[in-house]
Amino acid sequence: MSENHLDMLEESVSKPALLRSGLVLMVAGLLWFGSIPALAQGQSAGAPTQQDVEAAAVPSADAVPATQGDAGGIPTSDEAISAGAALFKNNCQQCHAIEQVVVGPALKNIHTRRPVEWTAAFIRNSQKLIQSGDAYAVNLYNQYNKTQMPSFNFNDEEIMSLLAYIKAESDSPTGTGTNQASPGQGGEGVAPAESAATPGYITAILVVLGIVLVLVLVVLVLVLAVLRRYLNQRTDLDAADREIIDRRMSFRSVVSSKPFLFLVIFIFTAVVFKNVIDGLYQIGVQQGYAPTQPIAFSHKLHAGTYQIDCNYCHTGAYKAKSANIPSVNICMNCHNSIGTDRPEIKKLYAAVENNQPIQWVRIHNLPDLAYFNHAQHTSVGGIECQTCHGPIQEMEVVYQYSKLTMGWCINCHRDTEVKTEGNDYYDKLVQLHNEAEAGGKLRVKDIGGMECSRCHY
């Protein structure tokens, strides 16, 4: 055996510590790559999803409107249905639904039940029609506990659009139609959903890399075995060479080696440190908090099924600092005649009779050191309720959807565009921003949204 061959063999075999180090690092690499797919899937599962639902989408100017409809000249164009959806959402859905009885009757197929002229007269002034002695109007008034319907100063075009929407909803197989006005979701400040194929693609790559590492390890073991077998067949080796060849690497020697011990201690310390940091970051964070309320109230039923506007109950959401929790008289606007025999509704009557407020449990709490104004975000900023509160119209029991931490707010200010359209206040700011950053979008951070004094003063 040549001197060079013995030197090479000694480099690979006579230094078990080096070999053990390589084996330890390779095993650690396999463990690391094996953990990444699960980590990637976990992050994907926790990533925000885009839940934007368009309400009453208006077609483009290039779209060809449909021809006028049949019943009483009710239009069937998408433009008319969209306009009617907006009217229904803003004026009717607090008391009416297409399929269900709310405060007033269900409106499905109203265009076939009554003439268009009668419906228009009832919408404009129901009391006038009732007082005229119209039998159908009087019977309807008595049937629904003599609840007075507000008068609406709609013109003929608006009434026909409203009937077009009701007709489209009535003809829809699901009863919801394609133009159903529903509470908005997402809005500005919500990260777009990641492609569902991305996590699987990453996982496939990592699995292939893991298989390659295993194959490399197997090849190294086989090469080492072949070298040992070849050298064992040699009879011209001296005692020193034979001692090198006969050395064996045991599991105990690997476990007790310094590189392995260092790796174990390092991983243990890193995991403990990470858990401590994560625990500290969760202090004061109540994401997922869903307390039991004194009265079981379903936002899924009210905001989802019946599509009652958030502002109807939370009257301060668009004009005040706080959205405010509704008082019992708002509940009684509907429940003085709806579901009066239900156990949860009886709790409302008990609160009224005893002149006691309902002790609702507050869910979303910000520290006193932080200032937040609902009107600034909803009315001026155009932010949807679901941006911060999540898919509220799908919640049977309301829970805190967002972290509501300072970092969460700052990220929103970094990403959210300023609603400058139709607001002359921003014209000069937009001009200066375009001069400084050609083509760049004006975001909240560009108008002082990152200043400490905006929220802390």
Torsion of CA 351, 352, 356, 359, to 10 degrees: 40
pLDDT at 29: 54
pLDDT at 347: 93
- Domain boundaries along the sequence of the chain: 3-47+222-281, 71-171, 299-325+360-454
Q: Is the predicted pLDDT of residue 431 greater than 80, yes or no?
A: yes
Is the alpha carbon torsion for 159, 165, 167, 170 positive or negative? negative
Cα–Cα distance, 400 to 288 (Å, whole number): 5
Q: Please tell me the least confidently modeled range out of 199-208, 302-311, 396-405.
A: 199-208
More confident residue, 273 or 54: 273
Q: What letter would DSSP give residue 301?
A: I
Cα–Cα distance, 393 to 4 (Å, whole number): 77
Average pLDDT over residues 419-445: 86
% helix, strand, coil for the chain, step of 5: 55, 0, 45
Q: How do residues 103-161 score in pLDDT, each as one tens digit?
A: 788 898 888 888 999 998 999 888 888 889 999 988 888 888 788 888 888 888 889 99
Q: What is the percent of the chain where pLDDT is above 90?
A: 35
pTM here is 0.50
Does domain 71-171 match CATH 1.10.760.10? yes
Residue 301 structure tokens: 């039923």
pLDDT at 26: 54
H helix runs in 172-257, sequence order: 197-232, 239-246, 251-255
Average pLDDT over residues 159-164: 90
Q: How do residues 45-60 score in pLDDT, each as one tens digit?
A: 443 333 333 333 333 3
Cα–Cα distance, 203 to 193 (Å, whole number): 18
pLDDT at 377: 95
pLDDT band at residue 198 using 50, 70 and 90 as cut-offs:
low
Q: Go through the chain and tell me how many residues it has.
A: 457
pLDDT at 71: 54
Measuring CA to CA, which residue among 363, 350, 439, 449 is closest to residue 399? 363
Q: Is the predicted pLDDT of residue 37 greater than 50, yes or no?
A: no
pLDDT at 72: 62
Number of other CB atoms surrounding residue 244 within 10 Å: 16
pLDDT at 292: 93
Kindly provide the b/e burial profile for residues 315-354, where b requires at least 16 CB atoms within 10 angstroms of the residue's own CB. Answer: ebbbeeeebeebebeebebbbbbeeeeeeebebbeebeee
Q: Is the predicted pLDDT of residue 391 greater than 90, yes or no?
A: yes
